[in-house]
Amino acid sequence: MLRTVYILLVLIVVSACGSQPVSQSEARKLSIIYSGNLDGELEPCGCSEGGNKGGIKRRVQKIDELKKENPNAVLISAGGLLVSEMPQDRLKSEYILKGLAQLPYDAIGVQWRDLAFSEQFLLQHSLPWVSSNWLNNDFAASKLIQSKHTAVRYFQWLDPASQSVKNMGLALVDKNKSQLMQALAAAKTKGETTVLASTLSLSQLQKEFDLQNVDIAIIKAKYEEFGDPQQVGHTLILQPGSRGMRIAQLDLVINPQGKIKSWRHEVIPLPPEVKDAPRMTQWYDDYNAQVKADYQKRVEIRKAMDSGESPYAGEKVCQNCHMKQHAKWFDSRHAQAFYALQDVNKAFDPDCIACHTVGFEKPGGFIDSSLTANLMHVQCESCHGAGKAHADSSGRTSVANKNWKPKQMCDQCHIQKHSPDFVFEKYWPKIAH
């Protein structure tokens, strides 16, 4: 009888010890794959010598590879996925969300820009949205992510001071931080690793929040490039890049007290050497088909609205008087610019057409390759402005951009967003005339 009681006691003790969380007795490892603002880029423009530097197809491929190597890696995004600046942005936003839904995200923060098409637009896509101070239950206040023996709790703060979306005049977020602070403290009490993301700068974050219970803070995204992580107290500060050009992996060792003991950070670029994920082919084909259909509808509308004589002459007219300059242009990549779009199935994307044709969406400008073939490519008037009046007057009337400097002309299209490798001093000699 005594022996039986003894065995039962041993079993109870062993069982109790076996249920102890690893976090209370030994260091734990944790890997986080993270990113920030896509800024409405399904794939960044590739109009540079280095080509396209990112995009969802490559992101899926790279994350598939990383998750295969480490299935326990946590996958998070600090939001800022969408923009609403041009008519086609709603369609692009829909496909961005469809694309990201193909990845096993554990948490995605909501930023104000993500709400441009309403909260319902986000909710129709099965993604793990988080907004810790949202005033109704549409978005989760936090997400608990279990990674092997490590529990991660993700929070997202929507800054009321930068609120840009309102519903019937009523604020959508709670300005009081007390509930979030209590939730952070409760998470730390449970031994969870806490992540707090926002669009605040580091100085704003330190002013607004007591970071005592924040293990990892994700601050306002840096343009394109990731910022270097930095330790502030016991809080690790991360700054993601933008436009979907890179992702990053953070490998942590967490001590038994739940504090970060050490970390290793790697920014992972997504250049053309990273192949497109084969499983995203249909998604991408569907997107381009929708863009083309929308473009063709807009062409029909513009045909109906467009009347009167075009102010554009076309490069063949310019050639009559400027033969030497025309010859220089003819041997440049500018003279093949629209074909470059056709090669990558972007000849129906308004984002791209504007800089690969003359006068797109301006009166008398490029409509499509059949109706206005004379205005295809980057021509004289793309830089110098409309020139028909100049030609008709035998030069007595100036071209529209007569007083512009060369760099000013280039800067119409060669901006960071569209041409990240552009350096005027390097590119100008290729077309100097």
- Is residue 166 helix, strand or coil? coil
Mean pLDDT on 339-362? 89
Query: Same structural domain for residues 321 and 387?
Result: yes
Query: Same structural domain for residues 170 and 257?
Result: yes
Query: Is 4 among the domain residues?
Result: no
H or E element, residue 416: none
Query: Same structural domain for residues 238 and 328?
Result: no
Neighbours of 310 (CB within 10 A): 19
Q: How confident is the model at residue 139 (pLDDT cuts 50, 70, 90)?
A: very high
Query: Same structural domain for residues 132 and 236?
Result: yes
pLDDT of residue 370: 79
Query: Is 302 among the domain residues?
Result: no
Query: Same structural domain for residues 194 and 327?
Result: no
Q: Which of residues 278, 296, 323 is at a domain's end?
A: 278
Q: What's the start-to-end Cα distance of the chain, in Å?
A: 104
Query: Same structural domain for residues 214 and 346?
Result: no
Mean pLDDT on 398-405? 92
Looking at the 3D structure of the chain, how many domains does it have? 2
Query: Is 55 among the domain residues?
Result: yes
Tell me which residue range forms the domain holding 324. Answer: 311-431
pTM of the full structure: 0.78
pLDDT of residue 16: 39
407 pLDDT more than 60: yes
Higher pLDDT, 426 or 170: 426
Higher pLDDT, 349 or 33: 33
349 pLDDT more than 70: yes
DSSP code string of 61-125: HHHHHHHHH-TT-EEEE-------SSTTHHHHHHHHHHHHTTS--SEEE--GGGGTT-HHHHHTS
158 pLDDT more than 70: yes
Q: Which of residues 278, 296, 319 is at a domain's end?
A: 278
21 pLDDT more than 50: no
Q: What is the pLDDT of residues 371-396, one digit of tens each?
A: 888 999 999 999 999 999 999 999 99
Query: Is 293 among the domain residues?
Result: no
Query: Is 3 among the domain residues?
Result: no
Query: Same structural domain for residues 268 and 317?
Result: no
Q: Specify the CATH number for the domain of residue 163.
A: 3.60.21.10
Q: How confident is the model at residue 409 (pLDDT cuts 50, 70, 90)?
A: very high
The single-letter DSSP state of residue 156 is: E
Neighbours of 25 (CB within 10 A): 10
Neighbours of 267 (CB within 10 A): 14
Listed range (168-177, 281-290, 327-336) with the worst mean pLDDT: 168-177
Query: Same structural domain for residues 269 and 316?
Result: no
Q: Which of residues 278, 301, 335 is at a domain's end?
A: 278
